[in-house]
Amino acid sequence: SHEDDALFGRIEKSTVNFVLKNKFKETSFDGFYLCGPEDMIHMVSDTLKGNGIAEDKIHFELFTTSETEDTLAEDLEGKTQVEVTVDDETFSFVMDRKQLVLDATLKEKIDAPYSCQGGVCSSCIARITEGKAEMVKNQILTDGEIAEGLILTCQAHPLTPTLKVDYDDV
């Protein structure tokens, strides 16, 4: 029966290694799709990478993001002139650097895309075309995507006097 092949309980490093090295050792996978608690996702992802799986083949969705204090915002002082482009319209406003870019954008009644507001769904992704911002949490973007200017606006605090964000250029 299929039940004999099933594994029950929380996925652990040993489970991943057993499945890769025994049950599916002759199988080539196009991708791995993970869903679950954050610590388990990180453990499974690290174990897959340790077994030679390329990072771009590992995809995940978290049930929730970890609870972390927003200590970055405590260190931010001043205001930033922000320009936001969404649906081919550009809006300008001034925001406090302690605010998150998405929160300030929504406060201006700009219809920016978003969903979870926890840094795990990527609905609020945008490209920085001028200036710099730093994310409090990031469970979605790779280092390469961040280097290309992509940012999760629900997690981003501006760091520079001006910031231009384009939701259309992603």
Would the CA dihedral through 37, 64, 115, 81 be positive or negative? negative
* Mean pLDDT computed over 42-68: 82
What letter represents residue 29's amino acid?
A: F
Based on the domain organization, do 153 and 114 belong to the same domain? yes
What is the tally of structural domains in the chain?
2
CB–CB of 112/86 below 8 Å?
yes
- pLDDT level of residue 146 (50, 70, 90 thresholds): very high
Quick one: three-class SS letters along 15-67? HHHHHHHHHCCCCCCCCEEEEECHHHHHHHHHHHHHCCCCHHHEEEEECCCCC
36-45, 61-70, 125-134, 151-160: the lowest-pLDDT one: 61-70
Within 13 A of 32's CA, how many CA atoms are on the CB side? 22
Q: What percent of the chain has pLDDT over 90?
A: 56
User: Which residue type sits at 91?
Assistant: F
* Per-residue model confidence as pLDDT tens digits over 73-99: 566 889 999 999 999 999 999 999 999
Claim to verify: residue 149 and residue 90 sit in the same structural domain? yes
Instruction: Tell me the average pLDDT across 122-126.
Output: 93
Residue 103 has pLDDT above 70, yes or no: yes
- Measured from the Cβ of residue 82, the count of other Cβ atoms closer than 10 Å reads 23
- Assess whether 57 and 75 both reside in one domain: no
Asked if residue 122 and residue 152 are part of one domain, the reply reads yes
CA-closest candidate to residue 114, choices 158, 59, 156, 63: 156
Q: In terms of residue numbers, what domain contains 89?
A: 71-166
Both 55 and 90 in one domain: the answer is: no
Query: Which has the higher per-residue pLDDT, 65 or 117?
Result: 117
The verdict on 81 and 117 lying in the same domain is yes
The residue among 158 and 61 whose pLDDT is bigger is 158
71 vs 145: which has the higher pLDDT: 145
The DSSP-derived string for 104-155 is HHHHTT-----S-SSSSS-TTEEEEEES-EEES--SS--HHHHHTTEEEGGG
Within this chain, do residues 45 and 123 fall inside the same structural domain, yes or no?
no
pLDDT at 3 over 70: no
pLDDT value at position 138? 86
Say which range, 13-17, 29-33, 62-66, 134-138, has the weakest mean pLDDT.
62-66
